[in-house]
Amino acid sequence: MNESILIIGAGHAGVQLAESLRENGHDGTITLIDQGAQQPYQRPPLSKDFVSAQEPEALPLRSEDFYTQQRIELLTGARATAVDRAARTVTLSDGQQRSYDRLVFATGARNRVLSCPGAQDPRVIGLRTLQDAENLRRQLDGAQRVVVAGAGFIGLEFAAAARARGIEATVLHSAPRVLNRSVSRQLSDWFTQAHRADGIDLRLGEGVQSIDAQEDLLVQSTAGESHRADLVVYGIGVLPNVELAEASGLACENGILVDAALRTSDERVYAVGDCANAERDGTRVRLESVQNAADQARSLARTLCGEPTLYSDVPWFWSIQGRHRLQIAGLAQPTDSSMLLGDPGSGKFSIALLRDGQLVAVESVNRAADHAAARKLLARGERITEAMLAGASLKELANATPVAA
Amino acid sequence: MPTITFEQPNGTATDVEVAEGGNIMRAAVANNIAGIVGECGGQAMCATCHVYVNPEDAAGLPEPSEDEDEMLDCTTAERTEHSRLGCQVSLGGALQSIRVAVPSDQV
């Protein structure tokens, strides 16, 4: 395999793809281009240990000499500005042009920006990049009160980490439930109570109306209340980075549209990770997770090395919500029915989600054993019913069920 | 400095020095040790930094936490009584050297 492969974006997906291409025997040139100036780094710790200053520096994704050892050309601080699919070239921000045999978009996503009046103040911060995290950590030193806009994973992780440092935290969330796009209603309600019990002032159905940036920040909520803060952190969702793909004529809709083999409408062009909206079981899914980024990259590497592979790995997610470890296996939908496993009062429990009587996802709080078992069961694709779950633990089911061929 | 010896499935071994308090996963990633992934960044969430600790070294280690113990059920390669998550095993103090085997599969 001597094709030249150009990867735009050196996040979790891009770097994994480069590595897996070599592991699968690709011998041609691999070029990774990324607009960030630094070595590719791990994202998940940024909203967790890094902010609470437990982690002194960002964790690199790979060692510095990894790229040279693997003959991967890493161009950092370089932005791809145009793709000419007919000529098979990519133009970079410094004017140079690179040609490719295969092109992969691993461009990720960016934060939706808080856009209310006053949101331009430098003390109003989104959290996505290492630069954001460094900025945030600096400003957090000496802060006594923070307001968080948005009770998604990032907003709540940050609020809980700040609270653990003794900082007063108010969370404004315009939807009626926390984590409303990501978890079941029961789990959402449980986390609402848990975070309130830990001292977070959690306001549901209240968004940020405006920010009066005086000496302190005065955050006006849509409920007409005013919250004083030293800084405001927002986590109100992301937008997939599709502009370059779109400008080059590729089909995009909530991400770059790819088939189950992660190929775009151009057979030489692919997309992986947060920017990819992939066909899966007859529907379309765009996931924002490290697991999805890395596993899609591994899958695509096999395809590019001559072993056509359809991506079908079981999605899983995790979040550290203050004292609580949340792990999710599988993909649920709002219409799925739920079944409680264990006692939420004990702080260790899981919620099984079922569709048409069959297990499709498991949300686990402080119960890694359930998560581990759920991942095995879902990967095997066996039919697990409510009656089976009532009669045995997930672990027992995972151990009892023979591995299907 | 504490030293970790990584033994690959093909028998080759590599010594890596690590700062006091450094853990096995970070040392592996920083030194380009094949077969240690550390996908979650060291939070005992992904089980992709699975190692088999040399039985003679295992005695000196603190027991795995409940979280680590449960996540060890997620490893791709077979779990044994000497399985640990590299991100949860730190070196330093009395523990100045350790030998670990990298499993054949990590993801």
Q: pLDDT of B12-36, one tens digit each? A: 999 999 999 999 999 999 999 999 9
For residue A371, which of A344, A394, A388, A343 has the smallest C-alpha distance?
A394
Closest by Cβ to A375, choosing from B42, B44, B74: B74
pLDDT for res A59: 82
Based on its alpha-carbon atoms, the radius of gyration of chain A, rounded to whole angstroms, reads 22
B67 within 8 A of B44, measured Cβ to Cβ: yes
State yes or no: pLDDT of A402 exceeds 80: no
The residues, ordered by sequence, that sit 6+ positions from A388 with a Cβ below 8 Å of its Cβ are A397
CA distance B17 to A212: 52
A384-394 burial code (b ≥16 CB/10 A, e <16): beeebbeeebb
Q: Which two tokens stand for residue A366?
A: 């402080």
Asked if the ipTM is above 0.85, the reply is: yes
How far CA A194 is from CA of A161, A252, A377, in Å, comes to 14, 39, 29
Residue B107: Cβ-neighbour burial (10 angstroms; 0-12, 13-18, 19+): middle
Cβ-based contacts of A42 with chain B (< 8 Å):
41
Q: Which two tokens stand for residue A21?
A: 């291409």
* CA-based nearest distance A60→chain B, Å: 8
pLDDT, averaged across chain A = 94
Q: Does A294 touch chain B (CB under 8 A)?
A: yes
Q: pLDDT of B67-90, one tens digit each? A: 999 999 889 999 999 999 999 999
Q: How confident is the model at residue A401 (pLDDT cuts 50, 70, 90)?
A: low
Q: Does B19 touch chain A (CB under 8 A)?
A: no
Q: Does B74 touch chain A (CB under 8 A)?
A: yes
Cβ-based contacts of A60 with chain B (< 8 Å):
29-30
Pairing of strands A276-280, A283-285: antiparallel
Q: Does A372 touch chain B (CB under 8 A)?
A: yes
CA distance A39 to A223: 43
Maximum distance among all Cα pairs of chain B, rounded to whole angstroms: 32
Q: What is the Cα A80 distance to its own chain's centre?
A: 23
> Residue A278: CA atoms inside 13 Å, Cβ hemisphere, count?
28
* CA-based nearest distance B32→chain A, Å: 6
Q: pLDDT of A304-329, one tens digit each? A: 999 999 999 999 999 999 999 999 99
Cβ-based contacts of B43 with chain A (< 8 Å):
44-45, 48-49, 318, 320
Q: Which helix (H) or strand (E) holds A103?
A: strand A102-105
Closest by Cβ to A325, choosing from B47, B67, B74: B67
Closest by Cβ to A372, choosing from B31, B40, B74: B74
How far CA A89 is from CA of A263, A356, A391, B23, in Å, comes to 18, 48, 59, 43
Taking residue A87's Cβ as centre, other Cβ atoms within 10 Å add up to 9
Cβ-based contacts of A295 with chain B (< 8 Å):
107
Average pLDDT value for residue range A50-63:
74
Q: Do the chains contact at A59 and B29, CB–CB below 8 Å?
A: yes
Cβ-based contacts of B73 with chain A (< 8 Å):
369, 372-373, 376, 395
Q: Do the chains contact at B31 and A48, CB–CB below 8 Å?
A: no
Long-range contacts of A88-91 (CB under 8 A, 24+ apart): A88/A268, A90/A6, A90/A8, A90/A33
- Give the percent of chain A with pLDDT over 70: 97
| Torsion, CA A35, CA A40, CA A41, CA A46, rounded to 10 | 0
Question: Higher model confidence: residue B106 or residue B83?
Answer: B83
Q: How confident is the model at residue A405 (pLDDT cuts 50, 70, 90)?
A: very low
Q: Do the chains contact at B47 and A372, CB–CB below 8 Å?
A: yes
| Residue A24 identity (one-letter amino acid) | N
pTM listed for this prediction: 0.94
CA distance A107 to A277: 12
Q: Given the structure tokens 């350790």, which residue do they identify?
A: B98
Q: Do the chains contact at B39 and A294, CB–CB below 8 Å?
A: yes
Cβ-based contacts of B26 with chain A (< 8 Å):
59
How far CA A169 is from CA of A119, A122, A227, A322, in Å, comes to 18, 19, 10, 12
A115-144 burial code (b ≥16 CB/10 A, e <16): ebebbeeebbbbbbbbebbebbeebbeebe
Query: Can you list the alpha helix ranges (DSSP code H) found in A286-391?
Result: 290-304, 368-380, 386-391
CA distance B106 to B104: 7
Closest chain A residue to B32, measured at CA? A63
Q: Do the chains contact at A44 and B41, CB–CB below 8 Å?
A: yes
Average pLDDT value for residue range A365-381:
94
B67-103 burial code (b ≥16 CB/10 A, e <16): bbbbbbbbbeeebeeebbbbbbbbbeeeeeebbbbbb
State yes or no: pLDDT of A97 exceeds 70: yes
Query: In chain A, helix, strand, coil percent, each to 5?
Result: 25, 30, 40
State yes or no: pLDDT of A50 exceeds 70: no
- Give the percent of chain A with pLDDT over 90: 86
Q: pLDDT of A182-217, one tens digit each? A: 999 999 999 999 999 999 999 999 999 999 998 999
- Under 8 Å CB pairs connecting chains A and B tally to 64
What are the backbone dihedrals phi and psi of residue A129, each rounded to the nearest 5 degrees, phi first? -100, 170
